[in-house]
Amino acid sequence: MRLLQKNLCMIAMSMALLSSAHAAPLVEPTLHIKPAASGTGRVALTLDACGGKTDTRILSALVDNRIPATIFVTGIWLKRNAEAVAIMRAHPDLFELENHGGRHVPAVDTPQKIYGIRSAGSPEAVAAEVESGAAALAGTGEPAPKWFRGATAEYSPSAIAMIRKLGFKIAGFSINGDGGSLLGAKETAKRIAAAKDGDVIIAHINQPTHAAGEGVVQGLLALRDKGMTFVRLDDADGTGNHGTTE
């Protein structure tokens, strides 16, 4: 009996290793918007609201300086930040709320961890994450979301195909502004201020105690001072590659 159990364990381990070896590599989609026809250029600012609270430094700067942004919200964040949601809804010309999932679970349909976060782990779980995020937004009275960005912005290729079949465009990016909100203010400001015509910036609006938030504001104001125009994803004609690497 012990020998049989040992053999079964070895077989299971071998199958797991084989499955891991043949798993498709994860994809981090890039995204650019169509460059401006004239002027100094335009960029799309996207901010993730994963969970936790709201960085009012960033939200206030966007409202005060009339900077449009696409905000990717989770169901978790929506429940905890009614006041911030009300401010965003009071400025529909500035804020477009889109789907960041119900529980901030990576849209990867095989069991693994990405940046320490456990993936959805199955096609059914990926679909549940996407659909519950859309339902959470609908519950606030927001229009049906058109874009989806998964937790960690990493996907399995098969999950990308599934998300598209569910009717969503996948929101990649071309500039990682704040390194997951872990960078300092100086480096964050430098990265964002370096954005060029057609770039899509990703940063976070849910970490009010992190220094990165200060850098987000500084970088955005630097772009404004250069004459850069800000647009939301849905306002960007010819939005390109939304689910493949470039």
Domain parsing of the chain, residue ranges: 26-235
Cα 166 from Cα 164, distance rounded (Å): 5
Decide which of 183 and 3 is more confident: 183
User: Residue 239 — very low, low, confident or very high, per pLDDT cuts 50/70/90?
Assistant: low
Query: What's the whole-number average pLDDT of the chain?
Result: 89
pLDDT tens digit sequence for 3-36: 434 443 443 334 343 344 456 799 999 999 999 8
User: From the CA atom positions of the chain, what is the Rg in Å?
Assistant: 20
pLDDT tens digit sequence for 87-128: 999 999 999 999 999 999 999 999 999 999 999 999 999 999
User: Among candidates 146, 138, 140, 177, which has minimal Cα distance to 163?
Assistant: 146
Range 110-149 burial, b when 16+ CB lie within 10 A, else e: beeebeeeebbeeeebbbbbbebbbebbeebebeebebbb
Cα 237 from Cα 11, distance rounded (Å): 53
**Whole-model pTM?**
0.88
Determine the CATH number of domain 26-235: 3.20.20.370
Cα 165 from Cα 128, distance rounded (Å): 14
Cα 61 from Cα 73, distance rounded (Å): 19
